[in-house]
Chain A
Amino acid sequence: MSSTRAMAPVIPCKLSIERADRLLAEFGKPTLTEIAKAASEASFSDELMILGGSLGLGLGNEKSDIDVLLVNPGVPARSPGPFQFFADGERIEIVRIDLTYLRSVVRELSRALGRSEPIGLPHAEARLLSRVAHGCRMGGPPLDAGFESALARTCHLATIQRSAESARQHGLVAALALEQEDELIASWNARGAIEAILQRDVLRSGLPYAGSKWLTEQLAMLECGAAIRPLLQLPRPGDRQAYLTDCLAVIADSLDTPATIPGLGETARWDTAGLGHYHLPGADVLVQQEHNAVIELAADAGPAWAELSCRPEQPIGGETRSVRDVAWQLYVRGLAGIRWENGGRQ
């Protein structure tokens, strides 16, 4: 069903100054020149100035924030912000990023991508990188062309991989919840997986990463993903079984993995770090010191807990059902987590 799966990624172009100015005028915003003038209150002459946020990617509306990114070429002790200015009632938010930091992120991501390793890129980082890589350049000295190219390519490939990893993570929670007969949590996560799959298709088609917020608008620009877009709508109670069946089929097809707990959980582990087991007269309890939290362990759950805590490297899906039941109960209370091979924790 994922028709764009085999497509080679197209690196997005940066938004031109002309197009950005047209967009800003359409939404009644200050011009790029006016924004740059306001931002110069916080910037230094050696800093590249980028129109970030949704507007910098050619998206948004009249209420969209005006975000400016400053790239510090490496001078120490410059505040990262954020700084806020108001010009004609419009809020301008400015954030500073160090070029040395950007270079190290690009290097690390390139290395992981080159080795086909999972990258575990958080959404906030993906969003910022995308805005630096693809946002409209509005002033200041440019970055060197070689780094610009590496930044755009690495950021784009990393966000594509991030979307696939996110789809897998949501898919696993959906499969676990389905086993626990919790169709609502299963549907919520199945929908999250579908969103990530569509995100990946959008990215592969050459649009920049803009997060879930603008996904549907980006899909409309490309006219892609039509077959699975209806799955973005969560089902009402009576329709959940059919919905989940459809979603799991799409997940399996898109990730080339059986949409089962062992299939999706192959690179995932239960994480019970921080939980201590105490024997008390008549009860066993698990204690999480960090949050000062305690939970009683049912009498018949002792062996399952023992297995869960003694085999931290066992892939999810490789344990027995009783172990998984205990793990799930801890997971939904925030007392246990899911650890991924990429170092991410869910």
Chain B
Amino acid sequence: MTVHDSLCVSPGVDVRRYAWCYSQAVWSFGVVLPMLAEDIDGAQRAGQGHLLTYVARLVAEYCATAIYLVRAFPRPLPPTSVRAVVAIRAIKDDSLRALIQDLIFDQGSEPDATADMCRQAISRTISIIGPVPELIDRDERHRAIGHARYWLSFIAQIGEGEGDYLPGVRAVPDPRPGQVDSSSPRQGPNCKKGKL
């Protein structure tokens, strides 16, 4: 085994670029995948084919972009109007690219088949980008908050300040008894980063 085999290096990638791209992949795109998985379950059980089609397109976009970020390290990301197409084109694994393309184009599939394809795409994406925060699960979200601390520490140590490294992650002041700071990706109305 060579050194490269065992180290899984990302040759030529500056550490700040690596940190930005990975944190975007995990905290902007990966973080949404468990929520989309819930939407798939809900749409499939309710027989809401149109909702499933909508979610399939989002799964394709989020999976492709997350993979693009940790494979090609694009910084900045292309704008949302072209991002999905650029990201899908960049996927080198033919079978994975075909799977994600089918989620976008093969909209005549049976709902069960579409749902299975979505789950496959999510599972394969997570196997590439690593564990994603599950903020909608009562127990897993505590683990996610722990993961966020590692990321924040890493980002600080490589000399990057505040920015869009961990979108949506912010300190929640002094929760009242019984409340839990959720570190949800949704920004509250008074959050510093934007009006909503």
Contact = CB atoms under 8 A, between A and B. Distances in A.
Interface of A: 41-42, 60-65, 79-86, 91, 93, 95-98, 101, 105, 122, 124-125, 128, 169-170, 173, 177, 182, 184-185, 188-189, 192, 212-217, 220, 233-236, 288, 290-293, 331-335, 337-338, 346
Interface string B48-71: 101101100000000000000000
12 contacts: A42-B179, A61-B42, A83-B175, A85-B178, A91-B138, A101-B189, A125-B196, A188-B85, A216-B51, A233-B107, A333-B74, A337-B79
B172 interface: yes
A217 B179 contact: no
Interface stretch (B113-121, B125-133, B180-188): B180-188
Contacts of A128: 189, 196
A346 B178 contact: no
Classify the interface of chain A: helix, strand, loop or mixed: mixed
Contacts of A346: 79-81
Interface string B67-103: 0000000111111111011100000000000000000
A175 B51 CA distance: 28
Contacts of A214: 51
Nearest to A174: B81
Contacts of A212: 54
Interface in B159-179: 172-176, 178-179
B16 to A, nearest CB: 7
A125 B82 contact: no
Given A83-B175, A182-B85, A216-B50, 17 more contacts: A41-B179, A61-B46, A64-B42, A79-B173, A85-B178, A86-B138, A98-B190, A101-B190, A128-B189, A185-B85, A192-B81, A214-B51, A235-B105, A290-B76, A291-B75, A335-B76, A338-B79
A189 B86 CA distance: 13
Contact of A188 (B43, B76, B84): B84
A38 to B, nearest CB: 10
Contact of A83 (B14, B86, B104, B182): B182
The 6 closest A-B pairs by CB, nearest first: A63-B42, A80-B188, A216-B50, A334-B76, A61-B46, A80-B190
A130 to B, nearest CB: 12
A170 B179 contact: no
B184 A82 contact: yes
Band of interface residues on B: 35 or more
A173 B85 CA distance: 13
Contacts of A333: 74, 76, 78
Nearest to B35: A65
A61 B45 contact: yes
Contacts, number: 139
A42 B85 contact: no
Given A42-B179, A96-B189, A173 B82 contact: yes
B45 A62 contact: yes
A235 B187 CA distance: 35
Given A212-B54, A213-B51, A332 B86 contact: yes
Interface string B115-152: 00000000000000000000010100100000000000
Given A93-B184, A98-B189, A83 B179 contact: yes
A292 B41 contact: no
B188 A82 contact: yes
Contacts of B46: 61-62
A98 B14 CA distance: 42
A38 B109 CA distance: 40
A292 B75 contact: yes
A293 B76 contact: yes
Contacts of A337: 79
